[in-house]
Structure formats: C-alpha cells, structure tokens
Structure 1
Amino acid sequence: MERRAFLAWSAAAGASAVAGPAAFLRWQEIAPTLRHPGRAEGHFLRAGAPLPPPSEVLETDIVILGSGVAAVSAAWKLSRGGHKNALMIDGPEPFGNAAGGRFGDLAYPTGAHYLPLATPESAHVREILADLGLIGGDPQAEAPTYDERCVLHGPAERVLHAGRWQEGMLPGEGLAPLELAEQERFFAEMARIGALRGADGRRFFTLPVQLGSSDPAWDHLDALTFKQWLDRNGYRAPSVHWYANYGCRDDYGMSYDGVSAWAGLHYFCCRAGARAANAAEGALLTWPGGLSELVGAMARRSGVARRTGSAASLRRVDGGVEVLCFALEGGVARSWLVRARKAICAMPLQVAARVVESIGDYGFDPARHMPVYPPWMVANFLMKDFPSELPEAPLSWDNVVYDGARSGLEAAQGLGYVVSTHQDIRVRPPEKTVFSAYVALTGRSPGEARKWLAGASADELLALAAADLKAAYGINFAPCVERVEITLRGHAMAAPLPGFRGNAGLAALREADGAVLFAHADLTGFSLFEEAAWWGCRAAERALA
C-alpha cells in the first residue's frame, strides 16, 4: 500500500470514539467467545472411554489422519501424482495450526498468519505456490515472481518502545551507540552463519531441516540454550536479548533460555537466499485469514475426500491398516472403521502415541522421546472503529510491544497483533477490521501454563489477550471493540529443547516406511509450514512408491 493510503487510515483513526470512564464499563460488557479446538476429543482419547460399534466400514487405498499442513500437503502431493483413491480424516479442527475464522465478511487467523519467501531448499513450497498460481514462470528460479496480492506491503512492522512507535522490529531511537552497534553485530553474524556450508556443500540451517548439512561442526550447539550462546558470544544489549527471546517465543512457544541454541540460530539463519523478482529479500506472504486461505486452496486443489472425525486407533493388519474413527456429537460418540493399504499419520505425536497401536515397535518410546508442547493463545478482536494512533509511525501489519505486556501469568508475554485488512489496498479505511493478538504463555512450564489456562476465567483470559493492545492504545481501545474470540491451544507445537537433534525416537519415526507413514512437523520440532509440508509430501511419495 502507498504511504498516503496509510496516512488516510491514521486520519480516520483519529476521529474514533472519544474515550473516558465509560470505556472501562464498555470493556466489562464484552464477553469473549472461548474456543478450545481438539480439547474434547483429546480428553476423550486420554480417558480411554469405549466407543460404540462402528456404524459403517469405508474402503480406500490411502487414509490420511489429520488435517493440518502436513496432512493437506500429503493430499496435494498424492493428487499431483495422479492418485485419486484417498480419504482424509480431518480431525477436530480443519487445517490445525493453520486454521482461521470469520466475522461475517472479515477473515482472520486463529493460527499461523504468514509464510516467508521460499528458499531454494524449499522446492516443494515453490511447487505448491506455483500450482496454486501464486508464483509465475519458473518456480525454481533464483528469484521467482510472486503474486502481488499476497506479498506483504508496507508498512510491514513497527515496535512500541518507551511510549513511541518505531518502524521495524527492533527499537533504535533513544538507544546508546554501543547497543546499536551490538544490534548490527548480531545481524551481521546471523547473515554470516546463514550462509555457512558444511563439508558436504549444504547450508547448516535450512528448511526443511533434513536437507541441511550433515556435517557435525555445529551439533554441539544443541547442548546449549540460545541465551547461553548469546552470553558466551558477548551479547549484552537488552534489545538483542529481547529480540532473540521474541523469535523463540514466536516460533517455538518457549523462552530463549529453554530453547536449544541450534534452534535459536535456525530461526534467524534458515531462510538465507529467499529472494523474489518483485519483492525485497526477506519479504513475507500473507492473507487476511492467515495460512488458512493457503491451506484451504491446497485442500480444494487436491480434491481428496474428507471425513470429519478423529482417529481412535490405528493398527496394522494383513494387507494394510485398520483405523477406528469417531466423532463427538453433543458429547455422544459415534464410530466407523476405515480399511486402507497405507496410512499417513499426520497427527501431532502426543496424539499419535495414543492412536497408533504398539508405537514402540517403530522405535518411539513416548516416555523418553515425546516432545514438550507449550500452550498458545490467539485472540481476534472485531473492531468497529480504528483506535486513535500515536503519531510516530502508522498502523502496520505487525505491531509489537517491546518487552511485551504482562498479565495473569508472570512473564506471559504478548507477541503483538496483526491487522487482518492490511492487504486490502484502499485509500479510505474499511468500516471494520480485525486485530489478531498472539500470546506465548512462557511464564511457567508448559504443564503449569496449561493448568492456569484450564482454571482461568473469561475475564482473566481477555485481560491477558488484550494486554499488548491496551499498552498501545490505553483507554481508547475498548470502545472500538465489538466482539472477541479467543482460541486456546493447550498443546500448540513441539518445542526444540536442548538435545532435540539427538532424539532417537523422532529419528526412527522419520525413517518408518511401510503400511504406516509418519508426517508431521513434530518429527523435527519446528512447527513451520515449510517443515510440515515437506513431511507431508515425503510421506505421499513413499505411499505412492
């Protein structure tokens, strides 16, 4: 969007409702809608309640268990390979961590909300985007041409520091020269490491991870936390530590003092070489509904039949597999049986461990090999007006509060908020928009944070979800809010803690090849589109072989 368009937005926002004591009363009247995708089904599985006899038996060649990025990518790859006889059991929430929702005509994300430009190693992502018409010409060119409608336009991001907005993700104004010099040193080092290659000629930090160098020169970093790496390399600037911590919370749901140093470096170094003919290096792709729009297009393109429900058990039988599936309707379960030649298990491993019979036979011991799953919160605020903005920098797509606002949990820090209508290029602002706020509950252990979420009141959750927005707008925020929907993901993603690269159980599942194939980002601990899509495509190729 041209800058003058955003100046028009700012002018319109300045005419928003005048706030006063009534603002606080209005806020108290907002009762958020709480969503817990998969919670009922997960508790049902954990309780081990008996299912009624199957009401029907379905026959297919390949059954895909799951509906997230890995599952949909598997379906897309099967279709590309000319395979039509497949069935997807799409779980309690279509598209999983890439899901989205709507307030009438306004789409919003309830999970991931952007996709960076694809690196040369992510050839599968380029193929997907080209198949959907989002890349023109040769998708494997050094700098492909992307659809302008999904390339994030400026202003892309801003940060609120010391009561003032600044463009970019890191504050610069008001900081000492030594701190600014350390910021430059950090970014220069990330660029240097991102370009490094091992003895086999491959880069060390790539997406997908499996296509990175097998040279062990950097493996020792998996024994450290990212904070320890920063300390050992002389980084002292608070802003550098804040940014490193932000990156880990953003991708892994964990603080940088708990995430592997290898994973922390991966966040900053894995996308080197991602270029476009019509966008700056490091540009992002986004849609109003986040990745739900991309993954939905992939699902439609695949044409694979979908059945709403969840897998209760998966077992190998002569000639293939049998999957007992169920759906909860008003708290009452019904079941059916699926028989197939192969199953692509695209469920999170904490679910697969309960579903796949004798999963230990594959080399995975849940007691020793199960990843840690931090919780997440995504809150979508339907805005009937734009709150008044501070003058220093215009409303951006991504808006981050430095140091994060805290509420409810000690150090439960927000990750900022994105604006759903940002890609809707117009000179005059729309009448309404959606602010999507993200919170990583990093103040306690994942288990303790889940316990807090389970017992928190709606008011407590709303206060936590709105903390960054209140920090940005104060009492001007509440009068502009019409509705709030909060999505709680108790087991949002697998976190790459120190030692994850040596997890023998995950390595075993990655190599499993037979009637049951595993495909999920959990296999490498990176809950990213590129990673999940690669495992889905790889499982489909094995199934076709």
Structure 2
Amino acid sequence: MLRRSFLAWAGASGLTAAASVAGYLQWREITPVVHAPGREEGHFLRDRKPLPAPSQALSTDVLILGSGVAALTAAWQLRKAGHGDFLMLDGPAPYGNAAGGRFGDLAYPTGAHYLPLPTQDCFHVRELLSDLGVIVRGADTRKPYYDERFVLHGPEDRLLFNGVWQDGVLPHEGVPAAELAEQKRFFAQIDALRSAVGADGRRRFTFPSERSSMDAEARRLDAMSFAAWVAQNGYRSPSLLWYLDYCCRDDYGAGTGEVSAWAGLHYFCGRGGEAENAEQGAWLTWPEGLQALASGMERLARPKRLAGSAVRVRVDAGQGVEVLCFALERGVARTFTIRARRVICAMPLHVAARVVENMPDVHKQIHAPWMVSNFVMKRFPRELPHAPLSWDNVVHGTPGLGYVVSTHQDIRVAPPEKTVFTSYVALSGRDPREARKWMTAASGEELLALASADLRAAYGLQFESCVERVDITLRGHAMAVPVPGFRSDAGLLALREMDGPVLFAHSDLSGFSVFEEASWWGYRAAQRALRG
C-alpha cells in the first residue's frame, strides 16, 4: 500500500518514476515505532478474560479511577482543600489525551497540543493556570496577564492551498470575491451568536458547556447536523465548506455531516478568552502539548498512583464502594481490591459501562479514532516561499489535519538544529469501528503512508532524508463525537447529576473531548467528594 500511495503522490507531483522509486526505497529504511496506549488492557476487559483471586486489599477515603485531565483535576482540588486521603488508579493510558513524549531533549505531544485562552466563565481553568504560574496575575479579571513563554508566538498558522502557502487556515488567496463575501457573512453571524443569550437567561454557547442554554432553540440546533444548518443558512462556498469541515474534524474527529449544529457553532462561539498581553482568542501551547498541564497538576496534587485498571465497581450498602482492579504484567493479570468511601470514575463512559454496576444507560456514544505521529527531524526541510514555517501547518484537501512544530516556542538567534513535526489524522469519513479494525491490522508502512501524507505534500522527496525517527500513537477511542441529540441524552443528564458513592468525571459527560470540559467534571466531582 505504501508503494502504491507513494507512486500515486509522486505522479500527481510531476516527479519521474525513477526519482519516486528512489525516494520510496529511502523512506522504507525508517520503520515507525507504533504505540497503542490502553489497547491490551481494553481488549482484556472487553473480552472478559478470567481473573485470578485478589492478592491484596487496600482502602482509602476517595479513589480516583483514571489519570487523565479530569482525574488529575480532581486530585489537584482534593489536595488543595487539604484532603490527602485519596488514591489514583492510573488506568490503561496514563494522562489520557493529554499525554506527551520525549526523544532526548526534544519533547512532543502524543495527544492534544494547545489550550485556548479561557474566558471568565472558565474560572476552574483560570484557577489551575494561576496555581501553575501560567497566569501571572489577574486570574479573576477579564484580561489576566499570562507568562509569555506559553502564549503562542507568531507565525501561528498557514495553509498549503493550490500549491502555495498562505497565512491562516481559511482559504483566501486566489478565492473568488463571491466566496470571500460568504466567508465574511458567516463570521458576522458567528459574532452575533457569540454574545447571544437563550430564553432561559444563559449564554447560548459557553464553557463549561453544561452552563450553556438548553432552551428550545438550543434543542433545535442539537437535533440537526451542522451540515444541515450550514445549508439552511445558504452557505455554499467550497472554501468555507472545507474550512468548517476541517474545524469539526480537528476538534471532534468527525465532519460537519456527523456533528450537531450546536457543537459546530459552539466551536466558533464558545471561546474568545482575553489577556492583558495577548490578542483575543490567543492560544497557549507547550512543546509536549497538554502534558505540561497534566504534569503540573500531578506536581500540585502529589497523588499516590497505582498501576492498574478497574474491572468492577460495586456499591455496598452502608459500606462504601468496593473496586476490583487488575494489572497486566507481561500479559499475565494480577488482581487486588480497593475499598473507598467515594469513587470518582474518571474513565470513558463506554469503559465505565462495562465496569460500574447499575450504571444508568447512556446513548451509544461514537468515539473517533485518531493517529498522532511524531517525526523526529535531524534537520529542517527546505520551505516553499510565500509563508514561513508556522506552529500549525495545514494542507488543503487531504485526510490529515496538518502538523505542528514542537520547537516553535523556542526563542533563539537561530533555529535549533533538530525538531519534531507532529502530524494529526482523524480517521473520519468512515465507520469508526471499521477504522479501528484498519488501525489494528495495518502494517507500519501503511500507517506511515497516512501519517506522512501532509508532510510529503509540503516538502516532496526531500522530506524523507530529513527524518531520523517516527513514533506513531494510535488512539482507537480518542474522543466522543457530539452527534445530533447528544445534549439531550437522559443517561448523560443522569450521570452528571449523580451525587452518591460513585461520581462521574470525564469529558464524555459533555459529549466532546476538550480540556475545559474534562477539567470541569473533575473539578465538580472533587467538590462533591469533599462534602462528605
């Protein structure tokens, strides 16, 4: 498959067959290292393989199941309140979608890589950023002052469109005037919606999304697809339609036809944080992505972490909660139990449904599979003219979501000798189950062909000679897709309101996976756990 896809790309680029074959043979010398965090444990749990009797029994006041953003937020809040009697069971994928990695001195993300400036509504995120020193002062004001090391530097983003780089991600150079006018009309409509208030007095779009309006208009938007809303409002510009679909794939792992209109609009209307020392809507980023925040919360929380995953969560009347846990060691399972007064279940809901006894039914959430691929570069490739290498680099018309540069925030006289290009691909446009099957069965060469598509389009044959190593991270259930009707699901509403021995805390409760939502549920669960 790699040879066929490489030759097809070479032919489309006008390269000779001899040159393309030479480039292909050189590329084949690099064998990617493929990671699938949580796959072995997840399949073990799914297949209900027999387990040995527990070899150990532990107890704690509060047990946190998981070690992603929601779990770490809960741990940070517990510790901040002076409550130290808690344990954290890591789960199969430590740090979840906020994980990162290192190659020598080079750090890179293997999950999410940025955080938009939080608005005042997102007080829980501002509190965290203040505790971590990312906000230097004014966390409760409209415009806090941020540590400039973490505010995204320019050039921020660019788009390869019709073979030429241009600033920004929305196509505009070489786009007909009628399309530009339609783009302008769309963003004028977004500006109006950004400040809209529902009939229930709530902002129509905000973070955390739980605090957004749920009036009749919100329910109408949630019941239809974003593509239907776009068509209903008369938007037909190819450049705008591509951009809207790209934004949905980038945040939700699915296109405009699969996500609800409410979710599509929330992407544009829910944010817009301000800062004393940055432009409105600026971003925060780190070389290792959001692992910088996850690791920071871990330092603040100082949790006692245990390796392993929950296999059964059972509430015992009057005796708290008993959790049966397992850990795989070279494919062999050992088990132990943990008894707690309260359990914060910070795991994906499709996993929790297999673990938590008598859990309320939730509509069958669709989870989008993703690939995050890190290319360790021994040198920077030569750039096409017009727009310089940016933090985010997107190629128009490909299945990929572009690539980010891990050393972008470095301030030095000359660029570093080496860097990491991180490529993102959401396997949208196909049934997620079939996409996961393909990811599981695909060879390293097939994965590499897809992971490198945007980079090969940007740099041609020279790219391969610049690469030293490739690490591909497969996230089969990376994020819940906010499909039409997701906000009104009775099961989700029930889980959000549970305030008993088991508390739920995961971005799945919101129906989509972003830092602001995951941290909100962890924050709220900790407050409830502290109430006794």
TM-score range (shorter-chain normalised) is: over 0.9
Q: Which residue of 1 aligns with 2:428?
A: 442
Give per-residue Cα distances to partners, 1:225-280, cap 9 Å, x unaligned: 111111110101011111110111111111111111111111111013x1000000
**Contact preservation (8 Å) 1:443, 1:449:** no
Q: Is the 8 A contact 2:219 2:488 kept in 1?
A: no
Amino acid at match of 2:285: T
What code does the residue aligned with 1:308 have? A
Instruction: Give the whole-Å Cα distance in 2 for the aligned partners of 1:249 and 1:440.
Output: 7
CA distance in 2, matches of 1:20, 1:150: 41
Matched, 1:416 2:402: yes
2:376 is the counterpart of 1:390: no
Task: Confirm or deny that 1:376 pairs with 2:370.
Answer: yes
Q: Deviations over 1:428-472 (max 9, x none)?
A: 111110000000111211111111112211111100000000111
**C-alpha distance in structure 2 between counterparts of 1:213 and 1:135, whole Å:** 29
Partner of 1:291: 290
Measure the CA separation in 2 of the matches of 1:527 and 1:240.
24
Q: 1:27: how far off? A: 0.5
Q: What is the CA distance between 1:138 and its match in structure 2?
A: 2.3
1:44 corresponds to: 44
Instruction: Tell me what 1:182 maps to.
Output: 182
Q: 1 CA distance for matches of 2:336 and 2:417?
A: 47
Query: How is 1:14-163 mapped onto 2 (pairs within 5 angstroms)?
Result: 22-163=22-163
**2:448 counterpart letter in structure 1:** L
Q: Is the CA contact 1:95–1:295 (under 8 Å) kept in the aligned structure 2?
A: yes
Q: Is the 8 A contact 2:137 2:146 kept in 1?
A: no
Whether the aligned pair in 2 keeps the contact of 1:382 and 1:434 (CA below 8 Å) is: yes
- Per-residue CA distance 1:275-317 (angstroms, 9 max, x = gap): 0000000100000000011111111111121111111111111
Question: 1: CA distance between counterparts of 2:46 and 2:58?
Answer: 25
Give yes or no for contact 2:250–2:401 (8 Å, CA) kept in 1: yes
* Distance in 2 (alpha carbons) for counterparts of 1:448 and 1:48: 22
The CA distance in 1 between the partners of 2:509 and 2:21, in whole Å, is 51
Q: Measure the CA separation in 1 of the matches of 2:120 and 2:283.
A: 15
Q: Deviations over 1:139-173 (max 9, x none)?
A: 01010001101000000000000000001111211
C-alpha distance in 2, partners of 1:309/1:149? Answer: 36
Q: Aligned partners of 1:375, 1:266: CA distance in 2, in Å?
A: 22
Q: Is 2:254–2:429's contact at 8 Å kept on the other side of the alignment?
A: no
Compute the displacement of 1:213 (Å): 2.3
Q: AA paired with 2:485?
A: G
| Equivalent residue letter for 2:196 | L
Contact 1:349 1:370 in 2 (8 A): no
Q: Give the alignment of 1:400-415 within 5 angstroms.
A: 400-404=394-398, 413-415=399-401
Quick one: structure 1 residues 355 and 214, their matched pair in 2 at CA, closer, same or farther if it must change by over 3 Å?
same
Counterpart of 2:476 in structure 1 is: 490
Separation in structure 1 between the aligned mates of residue 467 and residue 527 of structure 2, nearest angstrom? 47
Residue from 359, 365, 385 that aligns with 2:361: 365
The CA distance in 1 between the partners of 2:195 and 2:310, in whole Å, is 42
Percent identical pairs in the alignment equals: 63
Q: 2:104 & 2:51 partners in 1: Cα distance?
A: 37
In structure 2, what residue type is equivalent to 1:152? L
**In the alignment, residue 70 of structure 2 is paired with which amino acid?**
A
What RMSD in Å do the two structures reach over aligned CA positions? 1.2
C-alpha separation in 1, matches of 2:513 and 2:430: 21
Q: Is the 8 A contact 1:244 1:256 kept in 2?
A: yes
Q: Residue 269 of structure 1 corresponds to which residue in structure 2?
A: 269
Cα distance in 2 for partners of 1:455, 1:544 equals 45
Query: What is the CA–CA distance in structure 2 between the aligned matches of 1:199 and 1:141, rounded to whole Å?
Result: 27
Q: Structure 1: how far apart are the matches of 2:45 and 2:21?
A: 48
Q: What is the one-letter code of the residue matched to 1:209? A: S
Query: C-alpha separation between the residues in 2 aligned to 1:157 and 1:81?
Result: 40
* 1:316 counterpart residue number: 315
Against the structure 1 CA distance between its residues 20 and 358, is the aligned structure 2 distance closer, same or farther, given a 3 Å change threshold? closer
Residues 349-360 of structure 1: matches in 2 within 5 Å? Answer: 349-359=349-359
Distance between the aligned counterparts of 1:496 and 1:221, measured in 2?
12
* 1: CA distance, partners of 2:25 / 2:311: 46
The match for 1:407 is none
Deviations 1:29-81 (A, max 9, x none): 11001111110001100111122122211111000000111000000111111
Partner of 1:427: 413
**Structure 1 counterpart of 2:451:** 465
Partner of 1:13: none
- SS of residue matched to 2:413: coil
**Kept in 2: contact 1:311–1:326 (CA 8 A):** yes
User: 1:326 is matched by which residue type in structure 2?
Assistant: F
Matches within 5 A, 1:120-269: 120-269=120-269
In structure 2, give the amino acid aligned to 1:433. Answer: T
TM-score, scaled relative to structure 1: 0.92
Question: Contact between 1:343 and 1:516, CA under 8 Å: does it hold in 2?
Answer: yes
1:527 aligns with one of 501, 513, 525: 513
How far the C-alpha of 1:21 sits from its partner, in A, is 6.2
Aligned residues: 512
Residue matched to 2:341 = 341
Q: Following the alignment from structure 1 to structure 2, what is the Cα–Cα distance between the partners of residues 44 and 379?
A: 25
Unaligned runs of 5+ in 1: 1-18, 405-412
**Which of 492, 497, 519 is the matching residue for 1:511?**
497
Alignment of 1:319-334 (within 5 A): 319-334=319-334
> Is structure 2 residue 528 aligned with structure 1 residue 542?
yes
The match for 2:5 is none
Name the amino acid aligned to 1:104: G
Deviation per residue, 1:299-345 (Å, 9 max, x gap): 11111211111111111113211111111111001111111100000
Task: Give the distance between the partners of 1:94 and 1:144, measured in 2 at CA.
Answer: 31
* Contact kept in structure 1, 2:42 and 2:92, CA below 8 Å: no
SS for the counterpart of 2:478 is: coil
Deviations 1:113-159 (A, max 9, x none): 00000011100000000011111222010100011010000000000
What displacement does 1:20 show? Answer: 8.1
**Whole-Å separation in 1 of the counterparts to 2:346 and 2:270:** 24
